[in-house]
Amino acid sequence: MKWRNWSGAVRISPAEIAKPQTEVEVASILRAAAERGRRVRPVGAGHSFTPLVATDDMLLSLEKLSGLVSANPFTGDVTLLGGTRIRDIAGLLAPFGLALPNMGDIDAQTIAGAISTGTHGTGLGFTGYSGIVTGLRLALPDGSVRERSDNDETFQAARVGLGVMGVVTAVSLRCVPAFNLECVETTEPIEHVLDSYLERSRAADHLEFFWFPGTPRATVKQLRQFRDSDPVSPMTRADRLVNREFLGNVVFGAMDAAASRVGALARPIRGIGSRLMAGRTYSDASHRVFVAPRRVRFRETEYAMPLEIFGEVVREVERAIVASGEQVTFPMEVRTAAADDTWLGSASGRESVYVAVHRYHRERFAPLLAAVEPVFRAYVGRPHWGKEHTLTADRLAQLYPRFEDFCAARAAVDPDGVLLNEHTRALLRAGALGSVVD
């Protein structure tokens, strides 16, 4: 049996892919696995770039455990089954007049997979998805299913749980009244963007920018929320097809493929790429504006740094890419997030700037990662758990004040390491039997 992640960099042959239809079935699969000494990795939509789900034993998919459990239009409290795809949430919440307060670039992920790696969007008034989680149902390797919320230690750990804190069968989230977004995209000199970004981030609801390394301009995307009766002006069908699909995916993909064969093309492609991203203004329901199709496959690393050092870190990452001589045809992406109180969230306890570096999937990622990681490290960067990085337990323990608590909470729910794989053992300093080794 073959399985690969979205980028194609993780390719595995699991012995089995289990697709339970009920929570009871999830729990009994886990208990049976524990009794037989088997290893299980929960999997969502396979959109993580890291080998978080890699296993040669059992993958456990909740694709049949998807949908709305409950929604309260007055409080915004919503409970979804763990396998629910984010792209289905807007439709599920529409009858209740509710929406997710913020979203990332895409909506293909499952809600359990997204919270498990600390998936986020942009905006200093907003946390990632894990920051709005108010409760979880977890199936554990002892065959029990427990509801977790508030001050419970297992809950705190499992809000960004890497798939090692139990199988998340349901997620409760604090949602908001449905809203529209106006998107204004502008292309501006990079120095102006760097000088003004922090101030503009404080004023805007959601602000991010894309910068092709070595080029003088960046594309800024600014989103404004509105809930009043102002009409929306969605992107026309023609605009969507020409700009998003044809230019943004087909042409961009063809150029990337060409540059992966002829390195000298990378430079002109960066210039063309930054022009292809040039400005548009449109508005629509929030879930249609937050996300955009990403059909050209790439690999990615992303780190969260303290917001105050924003300008230095962005400049240095760009310099490191240019100095490395690696011919990159994807833009860097810069976003922000509010501090949250999760244990392993990359914005835990600090307002953060996220800097992401991408590369076409057919090109070697390791040299680019080697060029930028020292910069992230120097600026106390915390890696996105779902995006490529080389950090292991010793460094992670320095970056997260609650790291040891997380390891202890994991060992308490899964002492035999049923839910561990090689990658998570290295991340969590978990010994061969799943114990925490000091």
Residue type, 429: R
Site for ligand FAD in 61-90 (CB under 6 A): 62, 82
Question: Please, what's the largest Cα pairwise distance for the chain?
Answer: 61
Site size toward ligand FAD, by CB under 6 A = 32
If binding is defined by CB under 6 A, does position 411 make contact with ligand FAD?
A: no
Output 118 or 213, the one with its CB closest to ligand FAD.
118
Which residue among 27, 29, 33, 45 contacts ligand FAD (CB under 6 A)? 45
Shortest distance, position 292 Cβ to ligand FAD, whole Å: 10
Give dist(CA 155, CA 153) in Å, integer.
Answer: 5
| Beta carbon of residue 262, minimum distance to ligand FAD (angstroms, whole number) | 25
3-class SS shares of the chain: helix, strand, coil, % to 5 = 35, 25, 40
Q: Which stretch binds ligand FAD (CB under 6 A): 32-40, 115-123, 262-270, 388-396?
A: 115-123
**Phi, psi at 222, each rounded to 5°:** -120, 125
Does the protein bind ligand FAD through residue 405 (CB under 6 A)? no
Stretch that binds ligand FAD, among 87-95, 147-155, 161-169, 397-405 (CB under 6 A): 161-169
Q: Strands of 103-257 (E only): list them.
A: 133-139, 145-149, 167-174, 176-177, 180-189, 206-211, 217-226
Least Cβ distance, residue 411 to ligand FAD (angstroms): 17
Taking alpha carbons only, the member of 255, 253, 433, 223 closest to residue 335 is 223
With respect to ligand FAD, which residue has the nearer C-beta, 157 or 178?
157
Please give the structure tokens belonging to residue 71: 């929604």
Name 276's Cβ contacts closer than 8 Å, sequence gap at least 6.
Answer: 247, 248, 251, 252
- Tell me whether residue 96 or residue 372 sits nearer to ligand FAD (CB atom): 372
Q: Are strands 332-337 and 281-285 parallel, antiparallel or unpaired?
A: unpaired
Q: Is 112 in the site for ligand FAD (CB under 6 A)?
A: yes
Is 27 within 8 Å of 20 (Cβ atoms)?
no
Using CB under 6 A as the binding rule, whether residue 306 contacts ligand FAD is answered as: no
Q: How far is the CB of 231 from ligand FAD (least distance, A)?
A: 28
Q: Could you give the 3-state DSSP secondary structure of residue 94?
A: helix
Site residues, ligand FAD (CB under 6 A): 6, 41-48, 52-53, 62, 82, 104-106, 109-110, 112-114, 116-117, 119-120, 162-163, 167-168, 294, 384, 386
